[in-house]
Amino acid sequence: MKIAVCVKQVPDTWAEKTLQSADSTLDRASADGVLNELDEYAVEEALQIAEAHGGEVTVVSMGPERAAETVRKALSMGADSGVHVLDEALHGSDAIATSAVLAAALAGKDFDLIIFGSESTDARMSVVPAMVAERLGLAQLTFAQRVSVTGSDVTIERVTDYGFDTITASLPAVVSVVEKINEPRYPSFKGIMAAKKKPVETLAVADLGLEAAAVGQAAAWSAVEDFAARPPKAAGTVVTDEGDGATRLATYLTEQKFI
């Protein structure tokens, strides 16, 4: 079984995230880059499926030079090989272009399963897995809290507002996973050492058969007009409970017409 996991390097959750005034893109250099948390679950799920059914796991990432660290992180968890799409022309790409690049990197490789985290913690759009499924013409099984592979079928539990829907498709398919689907493993020392020797293919946009002019900020189908920091919130009233905290709070809620 051939499994691809698409991962993204994002600014550390605890870091202050800002846009750059020059071109309104995320300032990726000023914060530590980490493997997108939800993608850790995707990597773990891929490894578990490969361990249960046999097969190999390829990590695919698009991003600046530093994103190579993120590919290595996934390799140190146990993935077998990596593909890093690296090209100056990609800077400022929108989700449309990102999905085109990933689809081109994934096409023709006979992957049985392509697994994503359900969203990135920086852009938080949650659209790229669906867009890649659309472009590759594959079944879309997204927002999975459980994934099981039986023979040539894959079944997931898709999280909904009501609970979950059980959805089945024949392989190949695109899957995205939600937080807590599993417990991502920590890379072992042995895994970290082994990852250094694992093959990572670095591809430019032209290697994927795409035009450089079709990606990047100039080719984006939406554009930022302006941005600003949210004005700081005015300090509120804080009282210490001396037996009357609940009453004072209830009075406040009444004044605000919530009661």
Q: Does 143 bind other proteins (CB under 8 A)?
A: yes
Burial category of 47 from C-beta neighbours within 10 Å (exposed 0-12, middle 13-18, buried 19 and up): buried
Helix axes 37-53, 67-77, angle to 10 degrees: 40
All residues at 6 or more sequence positions from 234 whose CB lies less than 8 Å from its CB, including other chains:
none
How far apart, in whole angstroms, are the C-alpha atoms of residue 48 and residue 77?
A: 11
Residues in the chain: 259
Q: Are 46 and 112 in contact (CB under 8 A)?
A: no
Based on its alpha-carbon atoms, the radius of gyration of the chain, rounded to whole angstroms, reads: 22
Q: Does 217 bind other proteins (CB under 8 A)?
A: no
Q: Does 50 bind other proteins (CB under 8 A)?
A: no
Half-sphere exposure for 38 (CA within 13 Å, toward CB)? 23
- The nearer residue to other proteins, 25 or 188, going by C-beta atoms, is 25
Of 51-59, 192-200, 206-214, 216-224, which part binds other proteins (CB under 8 A)? 216-224
Of 64-72, 82-90, 198-206, 239-247, which part binds other proteins (CB under 8 A)? 239-247
- List the interface residues with other proteins, window 92-131 (CB under 8 A): 94-96, 99, 121-122, 124-128, 130-131
Q: Does 19 bind other proteins (CB under 8 A)?
A: yes
How far apart, in whole angstroms, are the C-alpha atoms of residue 79 and residue 24?
A: 34
Closest distance between other proteins and the C-beta of residue 208, in Å? 17
Q: Does 148 bind other proteins (CB under 8 A)?
A: no
- The nearer residue to other proteins, 151 or 237, going by C-beta atoms, is 237
Number of residues that bind other proteins (CB under 8 A): 80
In the set 2, 55, 164, 201, which binds other proteins (CB under 8 A)?
Answer: 164
Of 50-58, 192-200, 205-213, 222-230, which part binds other proteins (CB under 8 A)? 222-230
